[in-house]
Structure 1
């Protein structure tokens, strides 16, 4: 079972993929600033997973 389908048409625009990746990293920064280290690590891990799937695994289809 895949948690995320990087081939879905929703993820075609690069700005959308970048925003989706940046959001959990931003929230990790908020949690870190409030000394909630565990949640900061959780959200940073989510951001890392999204970056892996949406930028390293994602490949444009023909015609994109």
Structure 2
């Protein structure tokens, strides 16, 4: 089951993937510090899942190579 569509081009740069995982982990820490254990667990689970999908098992899709459009010869 794939919840995060890793074929989307936004996930290609490493800094974007690190930002997503870091944001979720930071949010989980804030919830834990505020004694919201349920939300800390939920967001921590999201952070772990995002780290697994976006950092550990991430395989970037192949880059698209655009071929030049063929122009039909002019008929005279």
Query: TM-score, structure 2 length as denominator?
Result: 0.74
Unaligned runs of 5+ in 1: none
In structure 2, the partner of 1:43 is 43
Unaligned runs of 5+ in 2: 64-76
**Matches of 1:27 and 1:59 in 2, distance apart?**
26
Larger Rg over CA atoms: 2
Q: Which one has a larger percent helix, Structure 1 or Structure 2?
A: 1
Q: Which has the higher contact order (CA 8 A, sep 6+)?
A: 1
Query: TM-score, structure 1 length as denominator?
Result: 0.87
RMSD over aligned Cα atoms: 1.4
